[in-house]
Amino acid sequence: MTGRMRTTAILAALMLVQPAWAQDATEAPAEASGEMPPPDAMADGSTPDEPMAEGETGGAEPAASDAEAAEGEATAGTETPTEEELEETAATAGVTPEQGATDAEAAEATAPEMATDLSGPDAFADIADEGERSVALFNEMGKVLQHPRCLNCHPVTGGPLQGDDMHPHMPPMIRGAADFGPDGMNCNTCHGAENVPFTTGEGSIPGHEPWSLAPVSMGWVGKSLGEICEQIKDPERNGGKDLEALYEHNAEDGLVGWGWEPGEGRTPAPGSQEIFGELTRAWIDTGAACPS
């Protein structure tokens, strides 16, 4: 990691970056986003009553990269702290500079192509060997488990990801001690009990009660499907769930179900929670085998 990237990552991890409220209206809003355009002005100086034509930039310079924009906003109007000062502050807060970037890089490198369909258990009935059928069923479940709607809230090192491209959460966000964001800016500061459509453009702020990250022990980003399988079966890592409790979680949990109703601007998980539950049931009944 270059010195510039390291400095930016520290700033993001410590939430020194000002929120980047505005996005191009043609871009799909980000997953688990707290972005809310201010009521009286957009970042380019226009107001909600003055929509820009497609392709118009309002005289602004082309958007900088995320790293350049974050660093620029973080240091505007203030004396830029040295990297040593930032590292000392980060160490005091228990935050590593890599948080926020590592998961996004891992997601880009390892996440499979986003699935658009989900088959039910009957599609695998012709597989005679029960163990092979069980593996095939879990592979189908993996279309949901490795979809952005799941992975974005199952990070390994940093805070949440967002969007179908699984980029770091903006405004920058850390996990917090209780997987609920930092003190003073918990997840429910922006995320309510239901999705809330934007009033000034396409998209929405996602919401559900509760809204939080999965614990670190259930981080999946960058993991193989076989590793995820072993992880979710392990009561020491999955919150003490046996297989029956795991089935109930997949088939009935409301936050899991949000993946199929994620609000405007996000691609739903493939299939339905009902099919996902049926796959989980069939996988358990055939021995809960994991891919190698």
Q: For 68-77, write each residue's pLDDT tens digit.
A: 444 444 333 3
DSSP-H helix ranges across 57-197: 66-75, 83-93, 102-110, 130-145, 148-151
| Rounded Cα–Cα distance for residues 276 and 150 (Å) | 13
Altogether, the residues listed in the chain come to a count of 292
When pLDDT is cut at 50, 70 and 90, the band that residue 119 belongs to is very high
User: What confidence score (pLDDT) does residue 108 get?
Assistant: 74
User: What confidence score (pLDDT) does residue 105 get?
Assistant: 80
Helix (H) or strand (E) holding 55: none
Across 54-68, 166-180, 197-211, least confident range: 54-68
When pLDDT is cut at 50, 70 and 90, the band that residue 240 belongs to is very high
| Rounded Cα–Cα distance for residues 58 and 25 (Å) | 13
| Rounded Cα–Cα distance for residues 256 and 276 (Å) | 10
Q: Higher-confidence residue: 26 or 120?
A: 120
Q: Are residues 212 and 273 in contact, defined by beta-carbon separation less than 8 angstroms?
A: no
Q: Higher-confidence residue: 247 or 94?
A: 247
> Among 208, 238, 221, which residue's Cα sits nearest to residue 100?
221
Q: What is the dihedral of CA 137, 141, 143, 149, to 10 degrees?
A: 180
Q: Are residues 254 and 213 in contact, defined by beta-carbon separation less than 8 angstroms?
A: no
Query: Which residues lie below 8 Å from residue 194, measured CB to CB, with a gap of 6+?
Result: 207, 208
Q: What average pLDDT does this structure show over 10-20?
A: 41
Mean model confidence pLDDT for the chain: 76
> Among 159, 169, 172, 14, which residue's Cα sits nearest to residue 85?
14
When pLDDT is cut at 50, 70 and 90, the band that residue 79 belongs to is very low
Residue 34 has pLDDT above 80, yes or no: no
Q: What average pLDDT does this structure show over 45-56?
A: 45
| Rounded Cα–Cα distance for residues 8 and 23 (Å) | 20
When pLDDT is cut at 50, 70 and 90, the band that residue 20 belongs to is very low
Across 70-74, 147-151, 188-192, least confident range: 70-74
User: What confidence score (pLDDT) does residue 102 get?
Assistant: 72
When pLDDT is cut at 50, 70 and 90, the band that residue 137 belongs to is very high
> Among 262, 111, 253, 194, which residue's Cα sits nearest to residue 276?
253
Q: What average pLDDT does this structure show over 233-258?
A: 97
The DSSP secondary structure of 175-231, one letter per residue, reads --TTSS-STTS-GGGT--SS-EE-SSSS-EE---SS--PPPGGG--TT--HHHHHHH
Q: Higher-confidence residue: 210 or 26?
A: 210
pLDDT cut 70: percent of the chain above it: 65
pTM tops 0.85, yes or no: no
